Structure 1
Amino acid sequence: MTDESIQSTDLTRRRVIAASGAGVVAVGIGGATAVGAAAESKGKKPSPGHRRPRPECVELSPEQVEGPYFLDYALFRKDITEDEAGVPLRLRIKVIDSVTCEPLRNAAVDVWHCNAIGLYSGYTAMGSGGGGGGTPPTGPPPTGTPTGPPPGGGGGHAAPTDDLTFLRGSQVTDHHGEVEFRTVYPGWYQGRAVHIHLKVVAEGQKTADGYEGGHQCHTGQFYFSEESALEIAALDPYKTNTTTRVTLDEDSIYPGTGLLGGLLPLHYRKGHIALGVRSSITVGVDPDAVNGGSGTPPQASATPSASAS
């Protein structure tokens, strides 16, 4: 564990502010312009008459389901690996207000994903069955109109089976609306393509006990290219995963819209992915919205924040 890790032994839930209405979110690729980044690094101000770059903005994107394996542990840390084996992954996430296009500061960003063999911490007894975990169904497939949640992780929350915390973590966005996580490239489990879960909680405050107050304004998932997944599947410990891997085209949750649907832009040496992977992505949210993680559009707060414009 790194020195920057702040772990809470008491697994209290966040105090969430209930609200209602309608809202939107967005996902896109991030990064400041080269000119803006250079000026900022040298502490220089734009010269008189110099036009300041327009704030970064991204297109709107639908919400995605939370899935059954979210645990609201106050694990504020950059490195979430906990000695889990796998290809190193550095993931930078920038969160912006999709209305003003300004960075969303002091928002809590949660990520969680399975390990190389498809297990989630907190749910290792469930194996890599996908959905709510457990043994895959047997017998003939159902007929008629389908009911209930979609397969592959769209169900309700599952009760934890252990106290493990690997590959889970939270961070609070900085002045630029950014956080960075150090983890490993995820594995896969039955019914799902390779993915990482994401949650953004806005307008709260980080305390010694976690992130208090605020409301969940975005729930999403990030995905990985088929090309990178094929390289990963040939490496240890991923190749010991005996579960059939679902491709992006086969996944029941991935919207098929590329970057707008959460497909990560990956940077690595082709043929040498074992050396590590880097990715940066921008997530646009409506900080006044309230989203329950059901995959439907979030609802707007009945009392918009004073900072909204």
Structure 2
Amino acid sequence: MDYTTAAPRDTVLLLSPEHIAGPYFRNPKLIRRNISESQDGVPLVLRLSIVDAMTGEPVSGALVDIWHCNARGAYSGWSKVDPDQEVEADHIGAVPRTDDDTYLRGGQFSDNKGIVRFTTIYPGFYAGRALHIHVAVRITGGNNYLEERHVAWVGQLYFPEVASRSVLNGKAYRGRSLLPLDNHQDQYHQQMNGSASTLTVNSIARESHEDGFFGHMTIGIDTFAVSTQIKPEDFDKYTV
């Protein structure tokens, strides 16, 4: 099945697997398409299609947040945490914030086809993890933070190894004291069916990877589900 476009009305999709939100979740309330904030790295254009897995219909008006580390493995808000040292924590709030930076974070409301688009950079890695992007999908009463209803789905998106290897050879990503984990070495990828959350990634230009990549995926959610990974109070507690 081609998951790059909205599913036909008579199609029922499998639910996309949920993942942990991780310790670096924040709620900066930034509605923006370009989240790069001039961070160095290989450009990445990301398109996510949000689909009701029960009906195959696109989910419009959902608030889709993404966040990920920069080329050196650092997250905004935790920029002073050494990405070459593994952090033994996986739950929200487990690691104290070090700063108020907001790079590589932001949200978009899905359009009438269930699609959101982001301009960012290809993420780097930090100790103990494969390359990934965090995603949270909130069901709302419209394109307004004040009309939020609940968090329906929390996930992590992974990358094909071939594309990642070419990216990690780039100047912005080199010079680390450790190597990244492959997807199959990542415990969360293994435990939470990460193979079903791997982006389709293509080079924007045929001749060179330096112009960046286009990544896309369809995410099937249950719009009535209430995620246990991020609760409404987490959005309130961890707002900038």
Contact 1:95 1:284 in 2 (8 A): yes
- CA shift for structure 1 position 112: 0.2
Contact 1:93 1:283 in 2 (8 A): yes
1:226 corresponds to which residue? 161
**Residues 112-151 of structure 1: CA distance to partner in whole angstroms, max 9, x if unpaired?**
00000000000011121566x4xxxxxxxxxxxxxxxxx5
1: distance between equivalents of 2:120 and 2:69? 11
- CA shift for structure 1 position 57: 4.1
Tell me if 1:109 matches 2:58: no
Contact 1:264 1:280 in 2 (8 A): yes
Identify which of 152, 158, 172 aligns with 1:237: 172
- What amino acid is the match of 1:274? E
In structure 2, do the counterparts of structure 1 residues 212 and 129 end up closer, same or farther at CA, with 3 Å as the change threshold?
farther
Tell me if 1:82 matches 2:37: yes
Identify which of 264, 267, 274 aligns with 2:199: 264
- What amino acid is the match of 1:199? A
**Residues 202-231 of structure 1: CA distance to partner in whole angstroms, max 9, x if unpaired?**
034433xx4542100000000011111111
- CA shift for structure 1 position 180: 0.2
In structure 2, do the counterparts of structure 1 residues 163 and 107 end up closer, same or farther at CA, with 3 Å as the change threshold?
same
Q: Equivalent residue of 1:279, what SS? A: strand
In structure 2, do the counterparts of structure 1 residues 211 and 125 end up closer, same or farther at CA, with 3 Å as the change threshold?
farther
Tell me if 1:194 matches 2:131: yes
Tell me if 1:124 matches 2:79: yes
2: distance between equivalents of 1:187 and 1:56? 36
2: distance between equivalents of 1:258 and 1:119? 22
1: distance between equivalents of 2:226 and 2:151? 6
Contact 1:116 1:188 in 2 (8 A): yes
Using the size of structure 2 for normalisation, the TM-score is: 0.86
1: distance between equivalents of 2:77 and 2:207? 34
Contact 1:224 1:263 in 2 (8 A): yes
1:289 corresponds to which residue? 225
2: distance between equivalents of 1:55 and 1:78? 31
In structure 2, do the counterparts of structure 1 residues 203 and 234 end up closer, same or farther at CA, with 3 Å as the change threshold?
same
1:251 corresponds to which residue? 186
In structure 2, do the counterparts of structure 1 residues 215 and 228 end up closer, same or farther at CA, with 3 Å as the change threshold?
same
Q: Equivalent residue of 1:60, what SS? A: coil
1: distance between equivalents of 2:177 and 2:47? 30
1: distance between equivalents of 2:124 and 2:100? 20
**Residues 230-287 of structure 1: CA distance to partner in whole angstroms, max 9, x if unpaired?**
1111111101333321111110111385652x10110115772212100111101111
**Residues 150-188 of structure 1: CA distance to partner in whole angstroms, max 9, x if unpaired?**
x5x633423321110000000111111110000000000
Q: Which moves more between the two structures, 220-229 or 114-123? A: 220-229
Contact 1:118 1:241 in 2 (8 A): no
- What amino acid is the match of 2:116? V
Contact 1:63 1:218 in 2 (8 A): yes
2:5 corresponds to which residue? 31
Q: Structure 1 regions of 5+ residues with no counterpart?
A: 1-27, 34-52, 134-150, 299-309
How many residue pairs get matched? 227
Q: Structure 2 regions of 5+ residues with no counterpart?
A: 232-240
2:100 corresponds to which residue? 163
Identify which of 163, 174, 177 aligns with 2:111: 174
Contact 1:195 1:224 in 2 (8 A): yes
Q: Give the aligned CA root-mean-square deviation in angstroms.
A: 2.3
Bigger-Rg structure (1/2): 1
**Residues 25-69 of structure 1: CA distance to partner in whole angstroms, max 9, x if unpaired?**
xxx832158xxxxxxxxxxxxxxxxxxx54554223321100000
2: distance between equivalents of 1:215 and 1:54? 25
2:17 corresponds to which residue? 62
2:53 corresponds to which residue? 98
- What amino acid is the match of 1:240? G
Using the size of structure 1 for normalisation, the TM-score is: 0.68
